[in-house]
C-alpha cells in the first residue's frame, strides 16, 4: 500500500514536470491522451480486471459523459452540471443494465455488453435531441475553469493528471478493502465465493457503477477537450475495444496495469504510427493489435504482471 502511494506520487510529479518542460503540443496531446486512457483503463479494470467480467461496452458510459457535457454547452448550462448529469446517467444505466447482465458470465456477458452499447449507439444516431448521427459541436466560450475551455493544452494535462491520481487512489483503497478481496474472489471462482457469503451480483454491480461514473467523467473531459461529440468517434465499438485493450495490455486486475497499458498505447501505437506516417491508415491498429496478440499468447498477465514476475524472480535469486 505504501509503495503504491509512493509510486503514484513520483509518477504525478514526473508527469507534471514533463508537461511543464516540453512545449511541444503534440507531446502534450499524447500525454493528455495517455492519462485519459489510464483513467479509462483503470475504471474498466475494476469490473473486468478485478471482478473478471469483461466488458466491451464501456463506450456507452464514455458517451454519457461526453454527451452530458455537450448538451450542457448546447443549452447554455455550466459544463460542470453537464458532467454531473453525465455521471448520474452512466451510473443509472450501469445499474439498469448490470443487474440483469451480471447473471451472465464469460463470453455471454461480453457479448451482452457489446449488444447494449450497440443499441445505445443506434439510439443516439437516431435521436434528435442528441442531434443524431451528426453529433454536437461545442460553442466556444471564454477560457477558464467555469467554461472548462482553455487556450493551451497545459491545463488539460493537469486536469487529467488530477483525475488519474484520484482514480489510482481509489484503486489503492479498493485493493485494501473488503470489496477488493471480494471482487478478486468472484473472478477466481464465483461459486466458492458465494460459499463464504459473497453476493457476487451485488458487488459486481457496485464495481460497475463506480466504473461507469469514472468512465463518464473521462468522457466529459474528452468532449470538453476536443469540443465536439460524434456518435461514431464516441460510442462505436472500437472505442470500447481500445478501453478494454489498455487494461489487458497493462495487465488485468493490477494497480499499475492500465497506466502501463495507456503509456504503451499512446507512445507506441500513436507515436510510432505518426512517425511512420501511418496514422489514419491503420498502422496504429496493426501495431496495437499485434501487441495484444503477443501478450495474450505469451504473457497473459500483461506488462504489469511481467514486471512483477521479474521482480519476484530477482528477489528469489538475490
Distance in angstroms (rounded) separating the CA atoms of residues 256 and 45: 10
Minimum distance between the CB of residue 111 and other proteins, rounded to whole angstroms?
A: 5
Minimum distance between the CB of residue 112 and other proteins, rounded to whole angstroms?
A: 6
Distance in angstroms (rounded) separating the CA atoms of residues 35 and 165: 10
Minimum distance between the CB of residue 245 and other proteins, rounded to whole angstroms?
A: 7
> Closer to other proteins at the Cβ: 186 or 218?
186
Minimum distance between the CB of residue 47 and other proteins, rounded to whole angstroms?
A: 13
> Closer to other proteins at the Cβ: 151 or 195?
195
> Closer to other proteins at the Cβ: 24 or 177?
177
Distance in angstroms (rounded) separating the CA atoms of residues 102 and 115: 14
| Pairing mode, strands 228-229 and 136-137 | antiparallel
For residue 313, the number of C-alpha atoms closer than 13 Å in the C-beta half-sphere is 6
> Closer to other proteins at the Cβ: 153 or 206?
206
Strand partners, 46: none
Does an H or E element contain 181, and which?
A: helix 178-188
Which residues contact other proteins (rule: CB under 8 A)?
A: 52, 54, 56, 100-101, 103-104, 106-108, 110-112, 114-116, 118-119, 122-123, 125-126, 176-178, 181-182, 184-185, 188-189, 191-200, 237, 241, 244-245, 248, 252, 278, 281-293, 295-298, 300
Minimum distance between the CB of residue 239 and other proteins, rounded to whole angstroms?
A: 13
Distance in angstroms (rounded) separating the CA atoms of residues 264 and 273: 12
> Closer to other proteins at the Cβ: 65 or 305?
305
Minimum distance between the CB of residue 211 and other proteins, rounded to whole angstroms?
A: 17
Task: Scan for cell 514533463, then name that residue.
Answer: 18
Task: Scan for cell 511541444, then name that residue.
Answer: 24
Q: Which of 108, 122, 101, 9 is nearest to 59 (CA)?
A: 122
> Closer to other proteins at the Cβ: 229 or 291?
291
Does an H or E element contain 81, and which?
A: helix 79-101
Amino acid at each position: 500500500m505504501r509503495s503504491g502511494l509512493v509510486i503514484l506520487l513520483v509518477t504525478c510529479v514526473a508527469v507534471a514536470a514533463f508537461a511543464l518542460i516540453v512545449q511541444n503540443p503534440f507531446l502534450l496531446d499524447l500525454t493528455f491522451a495517455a492519462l485519459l486512457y489510464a483513467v479509462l483503463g483503470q475504471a474498466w479494470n475494476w469490473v473486468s480486471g478485478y471482478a473478471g467480467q469483461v466488458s466491451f461496452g464501456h463506450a456507452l458510459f464514455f458517451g454519457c459523459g461526453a454527451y452530458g457535457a455537450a448538451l450542457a454547452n448546447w443549452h447554455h448550462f455550466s459544463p460542470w452540471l453537464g458532467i454531473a448529469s453525465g455521471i448520474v446517467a452512466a451510473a443509472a444505466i450501469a445499474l439498469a443494465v448490470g443487474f440483469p447482465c451480471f447473471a451472465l458470465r464469460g463470453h455471454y456477458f461480453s457479448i451482452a455488453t457489446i449488444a447494449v452499447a450497440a443499441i445505445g449507439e443506434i439510439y443516439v444516431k437516431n435521436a434528435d435531441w442528441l442531434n443524431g448521427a451528426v453529433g454536437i459541436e461545442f460553442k466556444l466560450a471564454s477560457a477558464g475553469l467555469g467554461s472548462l475551455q482553455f487556450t493551451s493544452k497545459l491545463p488539460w494535462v493537469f486536469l487529467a493528471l488530477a483525475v488519474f491520481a484520484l482514480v489510482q487512489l481509489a484503486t489503492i483503497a479498493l485493493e485494501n478493502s473488503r470489496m477488493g478481496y471480494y471482487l478478486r474472489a468472484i473472478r477466481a471462482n464465483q461459486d466458492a465465493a458465494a460459499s463464504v457469503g459473497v453476493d457476487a451480483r451485488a458487488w459486481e454491480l457496485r464495481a460497475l457503477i463506480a466504473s461507469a461514473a469514472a468512465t463518464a467523467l473521462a468522457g466529459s473531459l474528452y468532449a470538453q477537450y476536443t469540443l465536439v461529440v460524434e456518435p461514431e468517434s464516441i460510442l462505436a465499438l472500437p472505442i470500447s475495444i481500445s478501453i478494454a485493450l489498455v487494461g489487458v495490455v497493462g495487465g488485468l486486475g493490477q494497480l499499475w496495469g492500465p497506466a502501463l497499458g495507456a503509456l504503451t498505447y499512446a507512445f507506441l501505437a500513436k507515436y510510432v504510427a505518426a512517425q511512420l506516417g501511418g496514422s489514419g491508415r491503420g498502422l496504429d491498429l496493426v501495431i496495437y493489435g499485434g501487441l495484444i496478440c503477443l501478450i495474450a499468447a505469451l504473457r497473459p498477465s500483461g506488462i504489469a504482471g511481467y514486471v512483477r514476475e521479474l521482480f519476484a524472480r530477482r528477489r528469489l535469486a538475490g
